[in-house]
Amino acid sequence: MRPLAVPLATGALTVLGWWLERRLAPASAGGPLLLRPGLPALAAYLAAFAVGGFEPAREGLRSLRRGRIDIDFLMVAAALGAAAIGQAQDGAILIFIFALSHALEQYAVGRTRRAVEALVRLRPTRARRVRSLDDVGEGALVPADQLRPGDVVLVLPGEQIPADGVVVQGASAVDASAITGESIPQERAPGQTVFAGSVNRSGALWVQVTRSTPDSTLSRIIRLVAEAEEHKPPTQLFIERFEQVYSAAVVLATVGVIAAGPLVLGWSFDLTLYRAMTLMVVASPCAVVLSTMPAMLSAIARGARRGVLFKGALHLEQLASVRVVAFDKTGTLTMGRPSLTAVHGVDGWSESQVLALAASAEAGSEHPIARAIVEAAHRHDLAFSAPEQTTSHPGRGVEAVVAGDRVMVGSPAWFEEMGRPLRPELRDRLARLEAAGQTAMVVGVNGSGPVGLLAVADRVRPEARQAVAAMKRLGIRVVMLTGDNARVAEAIGEELGVDEVHAGLLPEEKMHVLAELERRWGPVAMVGDGVNDAPALAAAAVGVAMGRSGTDVALETADVVLMSDDLSRLEGAIRLGRRAERVVRQNLAFAFGVIAVLVVGALGGWLDLTLGVIGHEGSTVLVALNGLRLLGFRWSGGSAQPSGEAPELVGTAQPETGS
C-alpha cells in the first residue's frame, strides 16, 4: 500500500480540483477573494503537482546536472507547460497517472525481489550445537552465524537445518524445495549432504557443519539472485542508451513544434503550446524503457523458485539464443562414479560366490571400482571377510589372501600375462561388456584359471535421456565432451542419442571444441559439474553447472546453476529464456506502436492532452504487467523422481543370475 500513497493523494487532489472547478464557478463571481472563479480548483491542482511531481522533478534536475534529459524531466516539463496555458487539470491528471505508473512499475519490479526476501526469511537464525554424538541432551542453542566447520548440530523434526553439512547420525526426509526446487522431500542418511534452510520433516538428524553461514549454499543463492538485478542484458543496455538520445530528440521536436506552429502552420500560441505539450507526453519512451527489465527479473525469480539460478538477465537472454548444448559426460550425463553392472561365474561358481570373493579381496581398497564391488556385496547381504594380506599391482589389479586362499581381481590382460588365459565363453562375454562401454575384471583363486567376471560402469543419470530428447525437440544440437576413452564415450553417446561425441579431451581441448561448434552452428551452452569443466564453462556463451556435484566451483564459474543436478530442468530454463525474449519483443513492438499512433494523433489535433496521458501511461503499465506474467511461467522439465543427493543408491544393477 505504501508505494500507492503518492498517486492516491495526487489523484484525490486532482478530483478535488475538478469538483471545486464545477461546484464553485457558477456562484462565486462576486464572493471572497479565496472563492473567486478557479482559484480553489487551481490550488488543489497545484497541490497535486507538489505531491505527485516532487520526486520526478528532483530526479529530472539531477539528470540535467549530469547533462542528461530523462523521462522524469519530460513529464514534469509537460505538466508545467499545460498549467502555463491554463490546462492545470490536464497537467494534474498527467502527474497523477505518471505517479500511478511509477508505483505499478515499482510493484512489478518488487515482485521479482520477493524471491530474495523469501530466501532471506529461510535463513536459519538458531542452531542446537552438541558437544558430540554421545551428548544425550538437545545441545545448546546458539546463533547460526556462530557455527563453524566441524561443529555438530542436532536438528529435530520440523526444524530448519542451520548450516550446510553432512549427516553423521540419524535418518529423515528433508524438504529442500526452496534450495533445489525439488517438490518431493528427499531421504537423508549418514554420509549424505544437506543444505542450510532445508526443513527436517521426520526423524532427528545430527549434522556436521561443512560451511559457515556466510559461505552456505543458501547465502550464496541469496547473493546471486540479488546481484542478478545488476547484470543487465544487451537489450536493456541498448534501450538505456537509446533513452538518452531519444529524450533529447523529443525536447528538440517539442521546441520545433512551438517555433513552427505560429510561423509555419498558422496556429495560435495557446494551441501550439498545447499540442507541443501533448507531443512531449505521448512521445516519451516510458513504455520502451520498461519493456525489458521487469520481464527479465520476473523470469529470474521464476527460475530461482524452480532451483535454476541465473547470475544475471544477460545470461537468460543468451540462453534463449543457444543452438548447441555440449554436455560433459562424467558427473553430468552420468552419475560420476562406477556401479556394478554384471557378474558371471564359471566352473560351478555362482554369481554370489564370485561377488563375495571379489569383495573380500577389495575390502581394504579406496579405489572407486573397489568401492563399487564392496557396496554391491553389502547391498545383496553377502558374507565376506577382510583380506589378511593385500598386494596392489598398479594398472593390473589386486592380489589378496582371504581365509588362506589367494584371490586375484584384475584386468584380462593381467591374467594373460600370468599364463591364465580366458576361456572362449568368458572372452565372448568380455567382448560384449567392453563393446557396451563397461569395464570388465577377471576373478581368480589359488592360481587356477578365472572363476568369473565382474563389470562396472558409470551409470547414466535417470533424466539424461529425457534431457537430450528435450534439447532435440527445441531444435538444439546435442554434443557430448569427455576425457574418457572413445569406446566408452561412443557407447554412452549411442545410448543417449546425442548428435556428436568428442572423447579423450583434456580440459583445454574442450575449449577448442566449443569454439569450433560455435563457428559451425552458433552460440553454445556448456553443461558440466564445475570442477575440471571450469575452463569450458567460462569459455562457452552460457556455462551451466550442476549445483550439487560441484557447488563451490559451479557457483563461481557458471552463468546458470541447476541446484538439484536435474538435467531435465535445462529444458524449462531454455524455454523460460525464449519466453522472456518473446515478451520483451512484444513489449517493444507494442510500446513503439502506441507512441507512433499517439504522436500522429497529437500533431494532427485529434488527441487532447488527457487522452494522450492515458494512452501513454496506460501503455507503460501494460508492458510492466506483461513482463510480470513470467512469474507464472508454466515450467517444463523436472524429474518425476528426483535423483536426490545419493547417486550411489540410484540405478545400481543386480548381479546377473545366468549366462
By annotation, the residues acting in catalysis are: 328
Contact 439, 470 (CB under 8 A): no
Alpha-carbon distance of 41 to 50, in angstroms, equals 14
Contact 551, 217 (CB under 8 A): yes
Three-class SS string for 336-358? EEEEEEEEEECCCCCHHHHHHHH
- Helix axis angle for 217-228 and 293-305, nearest 10°, is 160
As given in the structure block, the three cell numbers for residue 420 are: 591364465
CA distances for 361 relative to 266, 371, 384, 457, angstroms? 104, 11, 9, 19
Contact 253, 337 (CB under 8 A): no
Strand order across the beta sheet in which 389-393 lies:
334-345, 450-460, 439-445, 405-410, 397-402, 389-393
As given in the structure block, the three cell numbers for residue 649 are: 543408491
Contact 508, 535 (CB under 8 A): yes
Alpha-carbon distance of 603 to 610, in angstroms, equals 15
In one-letter notation, the amino acid at residue 436 is A
Alpha-carbon distance of 528 to 330, in angstroms, equals 9
In one-letter notation, the amino acid at residue 640 is A
3-state helix, strand, coil in the chain (%, to 5): 55, 15, 30
State the Rg of the chain over Cα: 34
602: nearest Cα among 275, 186, 270, 121? 275
Strand 439-445, strand 405-410: pairing: antiparallel
199: nearest Cα among 164, 159, 163? 159
